[in-house]
A and B are shown apart, each in its own frame.
Chain A
Amino acid sequence: AQKVTQAQTEISVVEKEDVTLDCVYETRDTTYYLFWYKQPPSGELVFLIRRNSFDEQNEISGRYSWNFQKSTSSFNFTITASQVVDSAVYFCALSEALGNYGQNFVFGPGTRLSVLP
């Protein structure tokens, strides 16, 4: 069965600090997809990134970067030089390919990030 763990329930940092949000997943499938979402205080859920299991290249988008390591089943998210606008709940998610009629999409419990001015 697939599972996503985000061990950090809440993180507080001061503006301009770097912060890493951890995501560890479990799956028996060899083909799977990983995602990160952001939910700001306004409540909407915003898709940030998708990663395929066969592509371990790290990705950088502005101040955001993602480190995917199959060896440790982790897909961590780093925000560099954090800003107050980064304050949100961040969700990691996993989708397996095998036997998937759309139901195999599991969210982690989320990490609440507070960036203080």
Chain B
Amino acid sequence: DAGITQSPRHKVTETGTPVTLRCHQTENHRYMYWYRQDPGHGLRLIHYSYGVKDTDKGEVSDGYSVSRSKTEDFLLTLESATSSQTSVYFCAIRAAINQPQHFGDGTRLSIL
């Protein structure tokens, strides 16, 4: 299995609080991704990274920011969480564009 760890695995928090999700890889892969998965919407890309300090927006980036200061870590931050951000969040890594993405186990985030 690809060495990807997401933390925390579960989190419950209140509206308006900041939340940071962490994705850690041991594969030294160049590309990293954050997705959210909601019923009826499949997997939607939030942000992605193509190198250290190189990040860009996906299709549902509003309300989210990311940082990648080291190859192995990709952080997703919800500056002020809203109930609409309740979701399952997946991190993925990828070695090259002709290679598949490999996913972490997901983080279930509930915002009350």
- Chain A residues packing against B (C-beta within 8 Å): 33, 35, 43-45, 47, 50, 52, 91, 93, 95, 97, 100-105, 107-110
Cα–Cα distance between A100 and B97 once the two chains are bound (Å): 7
Cα–Cα distance between A109 and B41 once the two chains are bound (Å): 7
Q: In the complex, what residues of B have CB within 8 A of residue A91's CB?
A: 42-43
- In order of increasing CB-CB distance, the 7 nearest A-B pairs are A45-B103, A102-B31, A102-B50, A100-B97, A47-B100, A109-B42, A101-B50
Known: A47-B103, A52-B98, A93-B101. 12 other contacts (CB 8 A): A45-B90, A45-B103, A95-B98, A97-B98, A102-B30, A102-B31, A102-B48, A102-B49, A103-B45, A104-B97, A105-B45, A110-B42
Cα–Cα distance between A95 and B49 once the two chains are bound (Å): 16
11 A-B Cβ contacts within 8 A?
A33-B98, A43-B88, A45-B106, A47-B103, A95-B98, A100-B97, A102-B33, A102-B50, A102-B94, A103-B45, A108-B42
- Judging by beta carbons under 8 Å apart, are B43 and A95 in contact? no
> With an 8 A cutoff between CB atoms, is B102 at the interface?
yes
- Judging by beta carbons under 8 Å apart, are A44 and B42 in contact? no
Q: Taking chain B's interface residues, is the majority helix, strand, or loop, or is none over half, making it mixed?
A: strand
Cα–Cα distance between A52 and B97 once the two chains are bound (Å): 11
- Judging by beta carbons under 8 Å apart, are B43 and A35 in contact? no
Cα–Cα distance between A50 and B92 once the two chains are bound (Å): 16
From the candidates A43, A50, A101, A107, name the one contacting B99 in the complex (CB within 8 A). Answer: A50
Within 8 A of A (CB), among B39-67: 42-43, 45, 48-50, 56, 58
Most buried by A among B33, B94, B98: B98
Cα–Cα distance between A47 and B31 once the two chains are bound (Å): 16
Cα–Cα distance between A71 and B67 once the two chains are bound (Å): 42
Closest residue on chain B to residue A52 by CB atoms: B98
Q: In the complex, what residues of A have CB within 8 A of residue B33's CB?
A: 102, 105
Given contacts A91-B43, A110-B42, contact A44 B94 (CB under 8 A): no
Cα–Cα distance between A35 and B102 once the two chains are bound (Å): 11
Cα–Cα distance between A110 and B105 once the two chains are bound (Å): 18
Q: In the complex, what residues of A have CB within 8 A of residue B42's CB?
A: 91, 107-110
